A and B are shown apart, each in its own frame.
Chain A
Amino acid sequence: QRNSGPPILINAFQLIGMSSCLDLSGFFEK
Chain B
Amino acid sequence: CCDLNNQPRGLEDPELLARETVFSVSEIEALYELFKRISSAVIDDGLINKEEFQLALFKINKKESLFVDRVFDLFDTKHSGILGFEEFARALSVFHPNALVDDKIEFSFQLYDLKQQGFIERQEVKQMVVTTLAESGMNLSDDVIENIINKTFEQADTKHDGKIDKEEWKNLVLRHPSLLKNMTLQYLKDITTTFPSFVFHSQVDDT
Contact = CB atoms under 8 A, between A and B. Distances in A.
B105 to A, nearest CB: 12
Given A11-B179, A14-B178, A22 B71 contact: yes
A17 B136 CA distance: 12
Interface string A6-27: 0010111111111111111111
Contacts of A8: 144, 147-148, 151
B52 to A, nearest CB: 13
Given A19-B135, A20-B182, A12 B148 contact: yes
Contacts of A14: 178-179
Given A17-B179, A18-B132, A11 B147 contact: no
A22 B147 contact: no
B42 to A, nearest CB: 16
Contacts of A5: 144, 147
B115 interface: no
A22 B179 contact: no
A18 B128 CA distance: 11
B123 to A, nearest CB: 12
Contacts of B185: 22, 24
Contacts of A22: 57-58, 71, 95, 182, 185
B37 interface: yes
Contacts of B172: 13
Contacts of A11: 148, 151-152, 155, 176, 179
Interface in B1-50: 34, 37-38
Interface of A: 5, 8, 10-28
